[in-house]
Structure 1
């Protein structure tokens, strides 16, 4: 299965839109962004629609030409992966931004993560995960004439920005003339606008980072607090999603542990 670039087309999703305009906070004026080295276009790795919404609108507002690259083999189970990808595609189409749908490649991710199943969040498993996604992003950029790459990963306060940026810089350094744009998407209220846009667009709101080990640990913590476990895709698939989540998680943890 090869990478597929989906060019903007007429919105076809049945998901209802509730937009109040491009600026979520009254009176806010975005800074004008410029790419490093006077580059004329950007390949933006996107992890999900909620994290990408503000990043995409900020880049668009500055008139920067860019393409979304969706490569996230860590997201599991596949049902969750497909929901997150569809949400990102929907928003890219609405914004008129080209979207590259890369391979799911989950078997490769599990193989590379062997031995790290019990590592904590922000640990070496996450570094490997970021490395893998940036390696693929940089490769696509090299093959398709992009000299600058970046990612929406860093806007989330749940992530270690330094860890993400180092992985991005390392991946870009493999190709002469390529730069990783380490812009701080959180500053100037970026994280707050991320939430505003997610609410405005009614994005599917995932409750864990993405990998099956994050799902396992998050559900363990929730159970200890007497809270319900995460229900994969409940807003999309109804109550059946809960039992599907339990069965899938149990099976995959047994297979991959």
Structure 2
């Protein structure tokens, strides 16, 4: 790994390890390498039942697992319960990106992350979701804090991974690792909207 200059990084006071909810390898690459460089003990938790179709889910999961294995990082492969995701987002099919559907989606994923953390001895969780410029960072943090509020002593680490060059490093790592690059956020409705935008662009 080439030497990269990053800001000093440390967990919230008094905590020793963190459970990282990862949405995909391109987003989590910088988060993972930054924590490794800082000597932070962490485990990757892959729970993304929003991703559609299943072959897309498997592509993203396998890419992330491969990167974790190369760095010797523990990787937890959670369930793909897409039926539950569809049930929880029912009625929000026409919500825009960063709308209420995204909040419900973040809630679902980070609730499961918090539960796993509580059951397996982690006192801190965080997520790579906030590094993407397509996401509302404050929206992700709000979901994370709601998720941990159910469990005494569990903390959501709200470090802004896109700051201080984090987003640019994520892009550089994705290129270096030749990560599979998805063309939409992940869910059935973002895929629909991506097709719509491409259709408009091709006609204009």
Q: TM-score, normalised by structure 1?
A: 0.78
Alpha carbon RMSD of aligned pairs, Å?
0.9
Q: C-alpha separation between the residues in 2 aligned to 1:116 and 1:145?
A: 35
2:120 corresponds to? 144
Retained in 2: the 8 A contact 1:77–1:212? Answer: yes
Measure how far apart 1:31 and its partner are: 2.3
Q: C-alpha separation between the residues in 2 aligned to 1:147 and 1:56?
A: 18
Residue 85 (structure 1) aligned to one of 61, 67, 80: 61
Deviation readout 1:93-144 (Å, 9 max, x if unpaired): 0011000000001010011111011111100000000000000000000000
**Structure 2 residue matching 1:80: 3-state secondary structure:** helix
Q: C-alpha separation between the residues in 1 aligned to 2:51 and 2:154?
A: 27
Higher Cα Rg, which structure: 1
Deviation readout 1:53-80 (Å, 9 max, x if unpaired): 0000000000010000000000000000
Q: C-alpha separation between the residues in 2 aligned to 1:135 and 1:177?
A: 15
1:13 corresponds to? none
**Structure 2 residue matching 1:43: 3-state secondary structure:** strand
Residue 77 (structure 2) aligned to one of 77, 97, 101: 101
Runs of 4 or more above 3 Å deviation: none
1:134 paired to 2:110: yes
Retained in 1: the 8 A contact 2:43–2:75? Answer: yes
1:110 corresponds to? 86
Structure 2: where are the runs of 5+ without partners?
Answer: none
Residue 182 (structure 2) aligned to one of 203, 206, 210: 206
Aligned length: 203
1:170 paired to 2:156: no
Structure 1: where are the runs of 5+ without partners?
Answer: 1-20, 228-257
Retained in 1: the 8 A contact 2:7–2:164? Answer: no
Retained in 2: the 8 A contact 1:53–1:197? Answer: yes
Measure how far apart 1:29 and its partner are: 1.7
Q: C-alpha separation between the residues in 2 aligned to 1:188 and 1:120?
A: 28
1:192 corresponds to? 168
**Structure 2 residue matching 1:188: 3-state secondary structure:** coil
Retained in 1: the 8 A contact 2:22–2:44? Answer: yes
Retained in 2: the 8 A contact 1:44–1:150? Answer: yes
Deviation readout 1:184-203 (Å, 9 max, x if unpaired): 10111100000000000000
